[in-house]
Amino acid sequence: MAKTSPAEFINQVRAEGRKVVWPSREETVRTAIFVGIMMLILSLFFLGIDTLFGAVMRWLLSLA
């Protein structure tokens, strides 16, 4: 495997960095809103599941 000098490595990193396509502000905001909504939906779902399982476990333990 050929060794790469530090200067050549930096040049390669810069070249790859120029190829990156960054999202626009609108895309970033839209994605952040989507993530927030999904986080809320999933947190409510798991709260419901946890509450249901907790109630079932309390019921089962009350039988003992």
Percent of the chain past pLDDT 70, that is, above it, reads: 98
13 or 2: whose pLDDT is higher? 13
Query: Where residue 3 falls among pLDDT bands split at 50, 70, 90?
Result: confident
Which pLDDT score, from 0 to 100, does residue 45 have?
98
Asked, for residue 49, whether it belongs to a domain, the answer is yes
Residue 52, pLDDT score: 98
Q: Report the first-to-last Cα separation within the chain, whole angstroms.
A: 68
Q: What is the pLDDT of residues 33-46, one digit of tens each?
A: 999 999 999 999 99
Average pLDDT value for residue range 26-38: 98
Cβ contacts of 31 within 8 Å, gap of 6 or more: 23
Residue 62 lies in a domain: yes
> Residue 44 domain-assigned?
yes
The DSSP annotation for 7-48 comes to HHHHHHHHHHHHH--PPPHHHHHHHHHHHHHHHHHHHHHHHH
Whether 21 is covered by a domain: the verdict is: no
Whether 55 is in a domain gets the answer: yes
In-domain check, residue 14: no
Count the domains in the chain: 1
Domain encompassing residue 62: 39-64
